[in-house]
Structure 1
Amino acid sequence: MQKWTIGGLTVHAVLETVVPTRPDRLFRGLPAELPHWLRPHYVDDAGNLLVAIQSLLIESGDQLVVVDCCFGEGHDLPYQIPMDPDQFGRSLAAAGFTAADVTTVVCTHLHLDHAGRNTTRRDGDWVPTYPNATYLLTADEYDAWRRSSAPNRAAAETVEPLAAHDVLRLTEMDHAITDEIRLIATPGHTPGHTAVWLESAGETAVISGDVIHHPIQITHPEAQALPDEDPAAAAVTREHLLKRVVDDQAVLFGTHFAAPAAGTVISDDGALMWVPI
């Protein structure tokens, strides 16, 4: 288990799976040679990028906030994912929690690898996975999702039951979840994409969502993720977020980063460098 503290907050990574991915299946504009520092944590011996599918849990007082909900089980996926169906449950239990403990779920955006576990099939019906939680989603993202026909669009059964059970709340892009946790607007990957900003006891951090898919984009922020709906806007957002991380000396949690999933970003002669924690 990976666990970190940010001031009075505790952040846990709850892993569903790690997917070895050919670089050209995820990015355009990468250098021909991948930097050596990516091995062994972020690139395997075959040259595949290691892409984690995980939720990040934030303990804040009596609040337990889940950021993004992985693939989940039982949904029709457009591609095969190597997955142990029991892995997520084991990871959640190892962190010391059950689904009933969660008070808030944040959807940074509505792609299938971030929203699938929003719901679970029980007795033939799709119901909220976290029975005591409110689910937060920006209104801009919800509107874009309703119009989208992208192949990685979250399935209807991951969103519509939330509204039917009256647990879905549509927010502004800068919504405050608690005094220490808030959303920040990070459009580009999707129109209503948000990251999650943490400030507690003088320490800061950000959970990236899909602003940054892999540590390679820290050194090469110009590399475009193929699923970006607006690559130019995503690149601008990534540049601004990375500058803020450097300027604020914030911890960066990479939603798709294999372990170690947290680190800092430093500027070395104008080049950005990832320093894992």
Structure 2
Amino acid sequence: MFLLPTVVLYGVFTVYPIIGSYWYSFLDWNGFDTVRTWIGLGNYVEILHDPQFWNSFKITVLFTVVTVPAKVILSFLAAMLLNSPRMPWRGFFRTALFLPVVTTTAIVGVVMQFIFDPASGPINLIMLKLGIVSQGINFLGSPRTALWTVGGVYVWKWFGQTLIYWLAALQTVPPDTYEAAAIDGASSIRITRHITLPLLRPFAVIITLLSLEEALHVFDLMLTMTGGGPSQSTQIMELYIYNTAFAATVPRLGYASAAAVLFGLFVCAIGVIQLVGIRTAQRARTGR
């Protein structure tokens, strides 16, 4: 009885759309007409030969491969500093780094458009003032810089979340282990290398896999900052599906559903890898 509202809402807004996507993927349907033509695997065959689909897939993978290591490694280094009792203002820096996480992503995307504006954005004004560049750089308007600009904003936006993961992991390291190593004359680098890193290896697996799956879902940030442009250089899979289903001149909901199913299977594969990685990390930590 108590679970019934949750079950109903979950079924209506999650389970039903997933089942509907699989069904629509076998139809030639624009999402509006009452006529729905059954074409079987036709959408899937067309998608597998669609260069735009593979381009979006490549951009998604490239974005993930670059941003995940940057976020995981930088947040780990920050966590090491903020976990040290000798670090002043630790509470202030933790709060400051976590604030972007609770900020609405769409608002962040809109604000970043002004910040990176080539004519009046503060980033370009500072670089012009310092003489770093002779003219403003169109960070979001150039295919060479747009994806990496959004990637930098993404790392900054979710940096605090990964930082909290690392801080929680560091709390599991027994303090007497550090004290014993310090008494034996071990330097900070040796303590980090031979004590901290081995003990945090199971957590590193989990944090990396969580960050990997999170990086596959940046639709709101990418939509508000670039909309997939310029020249589709930032059109990740989620934007490709959205544009095909709703923003195209001739919407193709069936075709977009097939793309969503394939992308969903890819995300599920990442989820399976995550599950295996978590279990492996737990076994490594318990020694079983």
TM-score range, shorter chain: under 0.3
Q: Greater share of strand residues, 1 or 2?
A: 1
- TM normalised by structure 1 equals 0.23
Q: Greater share of helix residues, 1 or 2?
A: 2
Larger radius of gyration: 2
